A and B are shown apart, each in its own frame.
Chain A
Amino acid sequence: APSDGGGSPEPVSGGTLVYATGDAEPSCLDPHVGGNYPQGLLSTQYLEPLFGRDAEGEIVPWLAESGEASDDGLTWDIALRDDISFTDGTPFDAEAVKANIEHLQDPDTASSTGYLAVEQVDSVEVVDDSHVRLHLSTPKSAMLEVLSQQWAAMESPEGIARGNDENCQAPIGTGPFVVESWSPQESVTLTRNDDYVPTNPEIDHDGPAHVEQIEWRFIPDAATRQAALASGEVHVIDNPLPTDIAAADGQGFGHLDAPRPAASNRIELNTAQPPFDDDRVREAFLRAADPSPGIETLFAGTATRSFSVLSSEEPVRLSDEELFRTDADAANALLDEAGWTERTDSGTRMKDGETLTARFPVSTNQSTAAEQSLFEQIQANTAAVGFDLQLEPMDLSSWYGALAAHDYEAVSAPYTTVGPDVLRILYHSDSTVPAPSGYFANNAQLTDPDLDAFLEEALATTDPDERADLYTQAQRIILDTHAVLPLYDQQNHFLTNGVTGVTAIHTISTPTFVNAQLTE
């Protein structure tokens, strides 16, 4: 296998960078349609949003110059850069922004993530070529954060006008690369945008990207991806196995750790039905779960235990280690107190003829092998104090079906967005009301008026300090429900071989190849 150990390899200009993703292949390359992480990952290379974030989590301009809210929070004035064109030649201007937001709101687009971002936008007013004004129905302090998501990135209005079917094949943006072709299940070929105007906050040079082409390949199997990286067939892979990450250094591979923003990876307990409708039972569960030793071995030191519902990327996160301290005695006492005193032959606790059973549907698409093993360990650990945690691995459709039918007492559901407003999406009581498809985001089924109030206020306020304070209070309430067991940041690792300059943007932590250079 080629190895770039030994002498330091020379970066060269041009060439084709091969990226191998383990995420699902998007069904549409336009992230406005639907809106999932794989689309965000790929579209980072050819679409750019109005705003970005810096390493500290502060909003920075990208295609926009600035964004200001009115005092009542109901209008947002956004100034745009005037030196940018889409790759089809259409100028980027206020009309384009208006067309994009309307595209997101059009039911035919069937946007879900992007739609949530601009849900509150009543109308878009074109002030002049480089100024737009958003009129909102309710205040939204998180406006710039949500607009910084790749799912609300800007596309050429001409491209949008082609209709969804065509636009899905090759959306037109302003990014450093252009979609050239897509052979389904195999790869998407991206070519360099030679007229690229450096707007990406990550860029470290003037002019277009170094590599001429990106071949974006879909390799679903982690071991195969790793083999392809080792044999030099690909330069960058995502979703590597923890053991491979740990071994990467010794093999001379580069490693990029870019935890996803917003929520951490956590297990949520369904507070709406027994047995987790009892706070004591929930606390007993948290005290007994003891995931830390498992995280250490399973993730081979590549993941850090989290004690917060928010990602370590979010400045306002609140961590409380004490709350999750493992204490089997306390757990037993709590369960005794809650009346779960009888035991079955196998040691499961019982009360009034009911066993202390919790169904835990696991999506095999979303939970990695290591994570599933961790769940098994939690199952074994909680069994020691009398829980019967039933792991139910299933495919994604069945998993959503189980959630929609409330056939779960515990669940781990990832959610990616930008900013602490994710708390509102995940824990506001409105989020217990299902969408037409049956989907709801509040898996813990929290319905706390105080919490709702904090989250709404935080969304409305325009004062950053007050906002931070409100989110801290909200997190306090959420943690104290004992309905959430944080595990670690949403893992987002990349391994590289034969390439330098791979960095991740700080919004949804997708890699950008604007600075990448092959070293051959």
Chain B
Amino acid sequence: MTLLTVRDLTVDLPGAGRVLDGVSLDLSPGEVLGVVGESGAGKSVLARTLIGLTREDPRASVAASTLTFDGTDMTRAGRRAWRRLRGSEIGLVLQDALQSLDPLRTVSAEVGETLAVRRVARTERRQRIVTALHRAGLHDAEARLGQRSGELSGGMRQRVLVASALVGGARLVIADEPTTALDATVAARVLDLLRSLADDGAAVLLITHDLHAVRRVADRVAVLEAGRVVEDGSAAHVLAEPAHATTRALLDAVPRGPKPPLRPAHRPRTPILRADAVTRRYGHVTAVDDVSFSLEAGETLGVVGESGSGKSTLARLLIGAEHPDSGAVSRHGTPRVRLVPQDPLGSFDPRHSVGQILRLSHRDGAPSPEELLRRVELDARLLTRRPAQLSGGQRQRVAIARALAANPDVLVCDEPVSALDVTTQAGILDLLLGLQEREGLSMVFISHDLAVVRRISDRVAVMKDGQVVDSGNTEDVYANPASAFTRELISASR
């Protein structure tokens, strides 16, 4: 018996037109359905629609010939009926992990909300919250209960969200890119968690661009393109013998191998950015602990590491947005440094259109906004949209385009491709490599995705608890990891 049946689901959104077009799906208990597709294909809208949220906007139109959950027809269900399902029957992990926690409420209040709605006793609640946080891969759950989203790293927020979606024991869990901000070890744990939920009888709908993840946990896979399901079948079958061009492209684009040798850049290899024993503390937490390195012109330093290990903090220190408690960051010459932030949405002025954003960041010698959008594979029609009207991957690419609009010498990228499907991701990586080759661009490239880092970095630094536990040439480190932690990461990403 299927838990969820969808036939001919069509969604129109104001400003974007038809976003989903005749989508049909079935999902049974004990089953994991992977939904993949290019950025902007409509995956997140599908997730929001399945929990009845798109219909809350009076200007949106949602129609389906069949939409049943557990035998109940939801096409005509009222608000109350939908609400009964949410949280307790259907759990949703939203893609906007960095903005989806109420900044005024503590972790325990946010995770426990579903339980509170269902009037679970307070004592029991705490127990279940802690358990859920642990299952989502947050080790120091008890210590985090009283914190608020502003005090958490990106990956921590994402795990808190995952915990909040499954704490209620939902029979259908919809996870929209639940591992984008997670390092390989933790991502693996979260994926295993989803699998075990299904093994325990729940149905899981996993939206991801990570085909590796799909292969790991999904029973079946649906490929979405421009709002339509173009391919549908068992995961093993589809991934082994992709029928549709999009699927094939996705598979081909999975990053593999080392950084391709670049033709010698025309700049001399001189240090351009240095960190000398920088340390940054927040209260008791030492986010960055005595980190030193030097970045040379035209090279890429990859930074990988555990979630919450201080990568974003390091990025903020490097660009001067924060000051180290001790140690120093220095620049040599007057390089133009730009950041691609981990949370692009927050870094856009909500009143500016994409066009304005790009124009305002534009510096001499950089391409035009239209050209920049083209380079990051975005349609020029997006120029008039505001950030809130973009999909997660679209935002991320606008953030990259904005950084490139300054014609930078150094690019500090904080998880720049985490929300991108592999095809698009490959394009962006090629773009960056091309820039490095042609213009000697230097990069600090923060990512939890070891394959991506390997593909783009000359050298790599591995962080754990604020410290660099391993560093050296990328291939050396990958081949002979010095620390146990690095070994763990590498094995988890296989």
- A–B touch (CB < 8 A): the answer is no
Interface residues of A (CB under 8 A from B): none
